[in-house]
Amino acid sequence: MNSFVYRVPTEVIFGKKTEEQIGDILEKYGKKRAVLVYGSDRVKKSGLLGLIESKLDDKGIAYLEIGGVQANPILSHARKAVEAAKEFSPDIIIGVGGGSVLDESKAIAHGVANPDADIWEFWSGERKLEKTMDVASVLTIAAAGSETSNSAVLTNDTDGIKRGLGTELNRPLFAIMDPELTYSLPKYQIACGAADIMMHTMERFFSPVQQNHMTDEIAVGLLKTVMKFAPVLLEDPENYEAASEIMWCGSLSHNGITGLGGINDFATHKFGHELSAKFGATHGASLTTMWGSWARYVMADDEARFREFGERVMGLEPGCTAVEAIEATEKYFSEKLHLPVKLSETEYGILSEEDIEEMSLKCSRNKTITIGSFRKLGYDDIKTIFRMANV
């Protein structure tokens, strides 16, 4: 094992009906005023929001509701939410939903704790985040892992730039995780969630720094678990065993444990962010669209790692090639998850050269940065990989 620092302070309350404990948990932490953040009315129609309200009422905890968070949360909505939350003076922000809701909840927490700052300054890198306030989650979608991660993503809807912010201050105080709350998800969302979970781990597995054998065992085990249970959940969304395994994999995939001792790559996420920012692409689908092209472009740097992935994760015979490993992964995305593996299979289709140019410039911040670590990719590399996927 290589050197690492690991700390995940989030308390996880996992299992059936755990959402019913929220009043007791908030009381334990001494919380008196909560902002409840959610996306669509699904949490109202399901009765979940009403249940949470009743549990807070029972404990005399005041609350403010802020709804309407979009998939791929946008800056303009987050800014308005910050202002509303400031007036309420909460002592905790609670995201009731999936990764998008939790990401915006983190943005609200940062904004309330830093009233003199514009939250985009933290995502753009203009200002360092040095303080925040407590965030918690009641998870309804297994995908992003934001309920235990140090990450949050926002899209600046004025200029179409999507950015991630990684900081230990993003770690939630607690996460309530009831797999039954995912039962009403559309199958497409289940598939995209599974892809996101897999990619969070794959972006760590394909590292330029290896010899972290225990970490690899955790990563391989997680990937095989997702691959086993995602098709089961797509066939039967109310299969508790499958839903619970996928939900826990989601948290483990992005809390850092699957990459300890290595260096994260996350180039495919950067490509996906551009597709989401420009076309509103669902995050998981944007990742499966781009991964194969990234993999073919960089595989010569360490073909043995791709062969190992093919053998240990995809179940290929010893001696498989890197190309065969990539093809097997794309086949799983396509045939088991029913997700795109090239741009022509997406709802937005083949891109124009102007689109590719624009996204390549944004991804490289006008040719000023590189992305990834397995191979560092500059503007020309980024443009080439977008072109490779554009078939």
Given a contact cutoff of 8 angstroms between Cβ atoms, the answer to whether 104 and 93 are in contact is no
Range of the domain at 89: 11-181
Residue 280 shares a structural domain with residue 363: yes
Please count the other Cβ atoms lying within 10 Å of the Cβ belonging to residue 304: 9
Report the C-alpha dihedral over residues 232, 237, 239, 242, rounded to 10 degrees: 50
Q: Is 113 a domain residue?
A: yes
Domain edge (last residue) among 150, 181, 212: 181
Specify if 90 maps to a domain: yes
Quick check: is 362 in a domain? yes
Same domain assignment for residues 113 and 238: no
CA distance 10 to 102: 14
| Residues 372 and 237 grouped into a single domain | yes
Cα Dmax for the chain: 63
Provide CB contacts within 8 A for 150, sequence distance 6+. Answer: 166, 167, 168, 169, 170, 171, 256
Do residues 266 and 351 share a domain?
Answer: yes
Coarse DSSP helix, strand, coil percentages of the chain, rounded to the nearest 5 percent: 55, 10, 35
pLDDT reported for residue 358: 97
Q: Domains in the chain: how many in total?
A: 2
pLDDT score recorded for residue 338 = 98
In a domain? residue 137: yes
Residue 2 falls within a domain, yes or no? no
User: Residue 218: inside a domain, yes or no?
Assistant: yes
- Are residues 273 and 135 both part of a single domain? no
Residues 282 and 207 in one domain: yes
Q: Is residue 65 part of a domain?
A: yes
Asked if 34 and 123 sit in the same domain, the reply is yes
* Tokens standing for residue 51: 């249940």
- The arrangement of strands across the sheet holding 11-14 comes to 11-14, 174-177, 135-139, 92-97, 33-38, 62-66
| Pairing assessment for the beta strands 92-97 and 135-139 based on DSSP bridges | parallel
The whole-angstrom separation of Cα 112 and Cα 88 is: 10
Measure the CA–CA gap between 250 and 243, rounded to whole angstroms: 11
Give which of 244, 245, 193, 242 is closest to 221, Cα–Cα. Answer: 245
Three-state DSSP state, 158: coil
Residues 174 and 157 in one domain: yes
DSSP string, 294-360: HHHHHGGG-HHHHHHHHHHTS-PPTT--HHHHHHHHHHIIIIIS---SSGGGSSS-SPPHHHHHHHH
Co-location of 253 and 385 in the same domain: yes
218 and 284 together in one domain:
yes
CATH of the domain at 376: 1.20.1090.10
Strand 11-14, strand 135-139: pairing: unpaired
Residues 90 and 117 in one domain: yes
* Shared domain check, 31 and 152: yes
Q: Two tokens at 293?
A: 């092209």
SS3 275: helix
Please list the rounded mean pLDDT of every run of 10 residues in the chain (391 residues).
Answer: 94 98 98 97 94 98 97 96 98 97 98 97 97 98 96 95 96 98 96 98 96 97 98 98 98 97 97 96 97 98 98 97 98 98 97 97 97 98 98 97
Q: Where residue 143 sits, what CATH number does that domain have?
A: 3.40.50.1970
**Residue 177 included in any domain:** yes
Domain end, chosen from 149, 181, 213, is at 181
Of 181, 197, 222, the last residue of a domain is 181
Report the C-alpha gap between 247 and 263 in whole angstroms: 25
User: What's the whole-model pTM score?
Assistant: 0.96
Predicted pLDDT at 9: 95
